[in-house]
A and B are shown apart, each in its own frame.
Chain A
Amino acid sequence: MDVQGQQMTQSAPTPGVFKRNPPIAGEAEAIEAAKNGDAEAFSKLYALHKRRVYTLCLRMLGNVSEAEDMTQEAFLHLFRKIGSFRGESAFSTWLHRLTVNLVLMHLRKKGLNLVSLEETINPSEEDAPKRDFGSRDLALTGSVDRVALERAVASLPPGYRMVFVLHDVEGFEHNEIATMLECSTGNSKSQLHKARLKLRELLRQPDPIAQPNGLKEVAV
């Protein structure tokens, strides 16, 4: 399969992602059975990976309906092309890369060609993190609540969210992200930094009802 110009057959293992994708018990057997058309094996692979694939799609797209459609597409691609998986790297790494490529292809089909995708990575001025660097009264230090972070990530501008999810959540390296998004490595680094600054800003906004545990101040 060729998804957005990238062969979905096996390439060299990706250290940044592979280390976070250890083998799952029973997965190898299910993969081999699925290659032979075993329906039970398909359902097992879906059960094992549906949550991660769906969450990845949801974070990248920010839309439940589209995320479900892309989850469906990812597994259909998987089941149809599982014969090209040779087991040289983690199955979930392969599946995640396939999913990312499908989502990016989907976004480009929606009108984000190579140039406009680069533009999308750079959000408007009002979405950009504010330059409050050095303002002492805003300097909070502490831990980040998972739920609050998830909510803040969902509210990021799409370009920021894409790079943040791929790097900080999924564990892709900047050079991989640059290849996937067809931008420069420096651009990926810069957008990641801006995304984190924007998240810091979002997490510090007081919202006692919806966001009780944003960036909590802790004693040091």
Chain B
Amino acid sequence: MTEFQSLDFDKMTPADFEQYLPEFFSNGDGHVSNDPRLQTFLRNNPDCAALVRDLEAIADQARSLFEPTEDQDPSDAVWSNIQNKLKQDLGGEDELPIPQTV
């Protein structure tokens, strides 16, 4: 984090904080609120602390979207089209079975 070497974390303004926030997030493993250098600033600037907590909550919940829910399946037509294309590839010999739902 060499770009922060000249930055006084306790005396920076909210505007400074806003400017550096993307870097704080990318360097802080996604959890700026745990950064010991920012504790005094966040304690003294509750709006900035609230912003950080909201952005962390959004990033945390985003990770849960990685696992889709059961209603997020493509239509059956997708597999039918794949079957047809693959049959063409294989010379029309084999019928691909219906995939089991998992």
Interface, chain A (partner B; CB < 8 A):
20, 37, 39-40, 42-44, 46-48, 50-52, 54-55, 58-59, 67-68, 71-72, 75-76, 79-80, 133-136, 139-146, 149-150, 153, 164, 168-171, 174, 189-190, 192-193, 196-197, 199-200, 203, 215
> Which residues, 59 to 74 on B, are CB-close (under 8 Å) to A?
59-68, 70, 72-74
Chain B, interface SS category: helix
> Which residues, 40 to 64 on B, are CB-close (under 8 Å) to A?
46-48, 50-51, 53-55, 57-64
Query: Given A76-B86, A146-B65, A169-B62 in contact, is the A55-B72 Cβ separation under 8 Å?
Result: yes
Are B73 and A48 neighbours in the complex by a CB distance under 8 Å?
Answer: no
Alpha-carbon separation in the docked complex, A196 to B18 (Å)? 13
Are A80 and B89 neighbours in the complex by a CB distance under 8 Å?
Answer: yes
Q: Mark B67-102, 1 if CB is under 8 A from A, else 0.
A: 110101111011101100110011000111111111
Alpha-carbon separation in the docked complex, A20 to B60 (Å)? 14
B37, chain A: closest CB distance, angstroms: 19
For A150, list chain B residues within 8 Å (CB).
Answer: 65
For B22, list chain A residues within 8 Å (CB).
Answer: 189-190, 192-193
Alpha-carbon separation in the docked complex, A51 to B54 (Å)? 29
14 more CB-based (< 8 A) A-B contacts, given A54-B74, A72-B78, A153-B62 = A47-B101, A55-B72, A67-B74, A68-B74, A80-B89, A134-B47, A139-B47, A139-B50, A149-B58, A171-B63, A174-B26, A189-B22, A189-B25, A193-B21
Residue B14 CB within 8 A of the other chain: yes
For B65, list chain A residues within 8 Å (CB).
Answer: 59, 146, 149-150, 153, 169
Alpha-carbon separation in the docked complex, A215 to B14 (Å)? 23
For A55, list chain B residues within 8 Å (CB).
Answer: 68, 72
28 A/B residue pairs, CB under 8 Å, sorted by A: A42-B86, A42-B96, A43-B100, A46-B99, A47-B101, A51-B70, A52-B68, A54-B68, A54-B73, A67-B74, A68-B75, A71-B78, A72-B82, A133-B14, A133-B51, A136-B46, A140-B54, A143-B57, A144-B57, A146-B65, A149-B65, A150-B65, A168-B58, A171-B63, A189-B26, A192-B25, A196-B59, A197-B55
Q: Please tell me which one of the listed residues A42, A43, A193, A200 contacts residue B54 in the complex, with CB atoms under 8 A apart.
A: A200
A181, chain B: closest CB distance, angstroms: 16
For B74, list chain A residues within 8 Å (CB).
Answer: 50-51, 54, 67-68, 71
For A143, list chain B residues within 8 Å (CB).
Answer: 57, 61
A17, chain B: closest CB distance, angstroms: 10
Q: Please tell me which one of the listed residues B26, B48, B64 contacts residue A146 in the complex, with CB atoms under 8 A apart.
A: B64
B80, chain A: closest CB distance, angstroms: 10
Alpha-carbon separation in the docked complex, A197 to B73 (Å)? 29
Q: Please tell me which one of the listed residues A79, A133, A190, A196 contacts residue B58 in the complex, with CB atoms under 8 A apart.
A: A196
Centre residue among B14, B79, B90 by max chain A CB count within 10 A: B79
A16, chain B: closest CB distance, angstroms: 11
